[in-house]
Structure 1
Amino acid sequence: MFCPPQSSVIDGLKILHYPVEVCPKLAIAMSTSPSDGEILTIKQVADYLKVTERTIYRLAGAKKIPAFKVGGTWRFSKADIDAWIKQQSMEALGGDV
């Protein structure tokens, strides 16, 4: 439902005041943080994959999981980890997925 703006005049300038509508369904559907750009730590990836931090260190060091270093510490793109999980699942099923 569209409501026309109300106006007021301050110091000779006409100021329009538009009403704000909140759409609860849209607010639920939209994420508050974009996970595509989310960067994870070793601990977060270990928790996410349900493995030990040592396993993640080993995989990252062997370049078997997508990772990069920032200031000498490993970091992981959540989008890359999700794609890696999908790839691992396809390989485990013989590529039939």
Structure 2
Amino acid sequence: MSDVAADRWLSVEEIATYLGIKKDTVYKWIERKKMPAHKFGSLWKFKRDEVDAWVRAGDAAEPGQMQKPR
């Protein structure tokens, strides 16, 4: 994958597929868990590296879930 393709903005559908979750979960995480997202008019867009860092930091985890280092 080229650097340009790797750094492009992802849609809600694309980030949901990437994370293996439903689109509804993406919207909930934006609102409730402060998932890193950027609004372009009425569309939400995502940078893969920002979302990866957010997940690695444990911010997607439910309260009380144990995080095991990999």
Q: Which has the higher contact order (CA 8 A, sep 6+)?
A: 2
TM-score by length of 2: 0.72
1:42 corresponds, among 4, 7, 12, to 12
Count of residues in Structure 1 that have an aligned counterpart in Structure 2:
64
Question: Unmatched 5+ residue regions in structure 1?
Answer: 1-30
RMSD: 2.4
Alpha-carbon distance between aligned partners in 1 of 2:13 and 2:30, rounded to the nearest angstrom: 13
State the shift of 1:78 in Å: 0.8
Larger Rg: 1
- Provide TM-score, normalisation by structure 1: 0.55
Structure with the larger strand share: 1
Residue in structure 1 matched with residue 25 of structure 2 by the alignment: 55
Q: What residue ranges of structure 2 are gaps of 5+ in the alignment?
A: none
- Check if 1:65 corresponds to 2:39: no
Identity, in percent, stands at: 27
Flag as ranges the 4+ runs of structure 1 deviating above 6 A. Answer: none
